[in-house]
Copies of this chain bind each other. A is one copy, B any other.
Amino acid sequence: MRYMSLKRMTESTNPQPSAGAARRRNPDTQKRILEATLQLVSDRGYSRLTIEGIAARAGVGKATIYRWWASKGALVLDALAQVFPTFTAPDTGDPDHDLTTLIDSVAATMNEGTYAISIPQLAAELSSDPELADEFFVRCVLPNRITVLHFFDRLIDAGTLDADTDIEFLADLIVSIVFFKTLILHRPVGTSYTGDLANLILRERLPRTSG
């Protein structure tokens, strides 16, 4: 294995609500809360989200929410994680096509309304709550990161990439740039950009200006 530096692969500490005596939660109630949360976070964004609003929308007492989630951040994270996609990398034999498709699917996710609105604000929350950050990493980031690393593994096996290529760097590279472009700069990542990235990775060639 080439990427076992995934040391943060802690098991999820998530909705197990502390107590030893296995409190019995009502699955229907939980579902209604998570759905209401997703609805409202899409509609209004994380910062205008209120626990009262969620409770009202879900037809639930506020205390029920506080019983099972420690904070607004934990609730939103849980709700997002339920629906956050896990992409799969195609394997057509054409590395250029496969890689651009993979990058596009990452970019598409970042651009999707719900995530575009909620992730920057959630990221702000995570930056002051390491436990929550870990949970986000484990539940949303890690599965996809593994997909990407497996993909590069395949390229190495096929001889497209050198065996000693730092594929974790490549994963970071893709995610950083796509994250920054879409969520911070709010600029679309178009096909030309995707091609530049693929070119950089497959042929170690930095992009040139068209002019």
Contact = CB atoms under 8 A, between A and B. Distances in A.
A151 to B, nearest CB: 16
A10 interface: no
- The number of chain A residues touching the other chain, given as a range, is 35 or more
Interface string A175-191: 11101110110100000
Given A166-B208, A204-B204, A206-B166, A124 B47 contact: yes
Interface in A116-136: 116-117, 120-121, 123-128, 130, 133
A116 B209 CA distance: 33
Most buried by B among A117, A172, A183, A184: A184
Given A173-B177, A176-B180, A181-B176, A206 B207 contact: no
A116 B183 CA distance: 18
A196 interface: yes
A207 B51 CA distance: 46
A179 B130 CA distance: 17
Number of copies: 4
Contacts of A120: 123-124, 127
19 contacts: A46-B124, A47-B124, A120-B124, A121-B128, A123-B184, A127-B183, A133-B186, A164-B208, A164-B211, A165-B206, A166-B196, A166-B208, A169-B206, A173-B177, A175-B180, A176-B177, A176-B181, A179-B180, A204-B205
Contacts of A52: none
A112 to B, nearest CB: 14
A170 interface: yes
A162 interface: yes
A206 B206 contact: no
